[in-house]
Structure 1
Amino acid sequence: MEARIENLTEKKLLGKHLDMSFIENKTFQLWSSFMPRRKEIKNSLDSNLYSLEVFPAGHFDNFDPNNTFQKWAAVEVSDFENIPSEMETLVIPNGLYAVFLHKGPATEAYQTYHSIFTEWLPNSEYTVDDRPHFAVMDERYKKDDPNSEEEIWIPIKHRP
């Protein structure tokens, strides 16, 4: 598994979020409520979709799939001037990320995440940082198509 290390500059996102856990996954519900209203966002920078997780500090120290976190469906915007009703803003701060390419249906992304957290990360010079995790879905993303591709961005910092 290969990673590209990126120094991300701040991103402004606009979208919706739900609190959920890995056991009580509400991702489908979240995207079903966001996608019909996506066109109401007039200042998006491109057509990319962002699927984000905002985990509480220390979430991965004693991992429990029942612990809750925020899951976001969003797009990147130029500013927060016009926010449609029932939508929210989120800023991804500057920072270091390990970027992985997931190839295959979205339903198999858990395999890529498993490899990142059990193989790549423990054998790297990095540890997970407390910033949002996200996937970028551009024109290569085709949901359940075996040829689908999406980028997975994991926030990292150098090990102490």
Structure 2
Amino acid sequence: MEARIETLNEKKLIGKRIEMSFIENKTFQLWNNFMPKRKEIKNTINENLYSLEVFSPAHFDNFDPGRTFQKWAAVEVKNYEDVPLNMETLIIPDGLYAVFVHYGPASEGHKTYHAIFAEWLPNSEYLVDDRPHFAVMGHKYKNDDPKSEEEIWIPIKNRN
């Protein structure tokens, strides 16, 4: 598994969020609610969609798949001058990220995440940092198509 290490500049997002856990996955419900309304967001930077997870600082210590976190469906914007009704803002702060490409259907994304957390991360010089995790679904993203591609961004910091 190859990672591209990038320093991310702050991103401003507008979208919708939901509380969920890995056991009680509400991703489909979130995106079904967001997609019909995304065109109401007028000052987008591009067509990319962002699927984000905001975890509590100790979320992965003594991992519990029933522990809740925030799941976001969002787009990147230039500013927060025109936030549509029933949408919220989120800032992804500057920081270091390991970027991976998931090739294949979105339904098989768990295999890529497993490789990142069970193989790549323990053998790297990095630890997971306390910032949002996200996937960028750009023009190569085709949901459950075998030719689909999306980028997975994992916040990292040096072990030392």
Which residue does 2:64 correspond to in 1? 64
Which residue does 2:28 correspond to in 1? 28
Q: Give the C-alpha shift of residue 97 in structure 1.
A: 0.1
Which residue does 1:146 correspond to in 2? 146
SS in 2 for 1:121: helix
Matched, 1:73 2:79: no
For structure 2, the 5+ residue unaligned runs are none
Relative to the length of structure 2, the TM-score reads 0.99
Which residue does 1:133 correspond to in 2? 133
* Distance in 2 between residues matched to 1:110 and 1:129, nearest whole Å: 20
Give the paired residue count.
160
Corresponding letter in the other structure for 2:99: V
Give CA-to-partner distance per residue, 1:54-74, whole Å, 9 cap, x none: 000111121110000000000
**CA-atom RMSD in angstroms:** 0.4
Matched, 1:8 2:8: yes
Q: Give the C-alpha shift of residue 46 in structure 1.
A: 0.1
Which residue does 1:83 correspond to in 2? 83
Bigger mean CA deviation after superposition, 54-63 or 31-40 = 54-63
* Distance in 2 between residues matched to 1:110 and 1:74, nearest whole Å: 21
Which residue does 2:45 correspond to in 1? 45
* Distance in 1 between residues matched to 2:85 and 2:17, nearest whole Å: 13
List, as ranges, runs of 4+ consecutive aligned residues in structure 1 with deviation greater than 3 Å: none
SS in 2 for 1:78: coil
* Distance in 2 between residues matched to 1:156 and 1:62, nearest whole Å: 19
Corresponding letter in the other structure for 1:87: M
Corresponding letter in the other structure for 2:44: S
Give CA-to-partner distance per residue, 1:10-45, whole Å, 9 cap, x none: 000000000000000000000000000000000000
SS in 1 for 2:81: coil
Which residue does 2:158 correspond to in 1? 158
* Distance in 1 between residues matched to 2:38 and 2:137, nearest whole Å: 14
SS in 2 for 1:150: strand
Which residue does 1:19 correspond to in 2? 19
Aligned-residue sequence identity (percent) comes to: 73
